[in-house]
A and B are shown apart, each in its own frame.
Chain A
Amino acid sequence: MKITAVLLITALMPLAAQEIKIPASLEKLAAKADETVDVTLDASLLKLAGRFLSDKDSDTSATKKILAGLQSVTVRSYQFSGEGQYDPADLEEIRAQVKAPQWSRIVGVRSKKDRETVDVYFKDGGNGNLGGIVVLCAEPTELTIVSVVGTIDPAQLASLGGQFGIPKFDFEIGSIGWRREGK
């Protein structure tokens, strides 16, 4: 039984740590976009970075705590010169990967005025922690996808924004807004 349990846990571990797969159709957007930012930080880099960050400075100490649980950070950001450069349906491939029961959509904003949609998905990591975050932000000329995999203390969530290439999150009571620097 012990061997079976170990095998089962070993088999399930990659699933628990599974990161969101960015569809090829979205990766190809880099060729159309005016400005793109791709950030891919894997587990080995994040773990080692966390190990060597200093505890003395308050900023790096906070970053170190966040890094301790992270397994991957992926950011894809595209800015286009005009509208219609991407197909909103392309995002459905990502939405299909963040479905219940593992994932919950915590925030869903649809702005008719700005024609902007923001979706924030949280994965239950157990023990009151998050197991992952996916943010999809789509505007007519801009598309941002953020995927963070790993154990995240909700109290540290605000600190994630502005680090590792992740745009800043703007937290308000009971909701999470989206704020870009300079806006």
Chain B
Amino acid sequence: MSPRLLALFLAAAGAAYSADHEFDRVVSAVEKHYGVKRTHIPLMGLANFVVKVSHPAGTSGFKLAVFEDLPSPSEPDALADLDRFMDEICTGGLHPMVVTRSRPAGESTYILTGEVGKSTRILIATFEPHEATVIEATVNIETLMKMIGSPETAHSLFQDKHGDDDGGR
């Protein structure tokens, strides 16, 4: 293997490791912060394989972590606390791109992105009362633009891929 090829391989492997690391880091942070464990989703590997092969809705891979039975948020600072928490974990290669919050519904959605390219790795974290979802996906730029346009529906795009919200539990 030539040094140039080796360097390219190591760079690609490093980027892949770094991206995986971001998802795991966010999932661990949620688990630690809320004292919960992610819910096991059966057939997740199969769903990911299907997505990688068929690229539905411009997606070429995704990871999903669902957290249930989150402790009740303590108003009135719950959303501010959540913002601080997300600020703390949004370090390194992740930048917040879109944030939506609904106080009556108790919902917040954060769409974070790393480096943008033909395929872009994004991380969507959705917090609802007693439930949180963290999704990492590789999407094409058209899908990314759609998500910016309607961020509140971004997470449902991926949750539908493994049936529905309850499908995997």
Q: Are A41 and B148 in contact (CB under 8 A)?
A: yes
Tell me if B97 and A40 are in contact (CB < 8 A): yes
Proximity string of chain A (1-39) to chain B, C-beta cutoff 8 Å, 1 when within and 0 when not: 000000000000000000000000000001101111111
Q: Classify the secondary structure of B's interface with A.
A: mixed
User: B142: which of A38, A48, A54 is its contact (CB, 8 Å)?
Assistant: A54
A36 to B115, CA, bound (A): 26
A161 to chain B: closest CB distance in Å?
11
Find the B residue at minimum CB distance from A64: B141
A40 and B161 alpha carbons, distance in the complex (Å): 28
Q: Quick one: which of B46-92 are within 8 Å of A by CB?
A: 76-77, 79-80, 83
Question: Judging by beta carbons under 8 Å apart, are B104 and A31 in contact?
Answer: no
Q: Can you list 30 pairs linking A and B with CB atoms under 8 Å apart? A: A30-B79, A30-B101, A31-B76, A31-B77, A31-B79, A34-B102, A34-B104, A35-B101, A35-B103, A36-B100, A36-B101, A37-B151, A38-B96, A38-B99, A41-B148, A42-B95, A45-B113, A45-B116, A48-B115, A48-B117, A48-B141, A49-B116, A52-B116, A52-B117, A60-B145, A81-B104, A162-B149, A163-B148, A163-B149, A165-B98
Interface residues in chain A, defined as those with a beta carbon under 8 Å from any beta carbon in chain B: 30-31, 33-42, 44-45, 48-49, 52-54, 60, 63, 81, 162-165
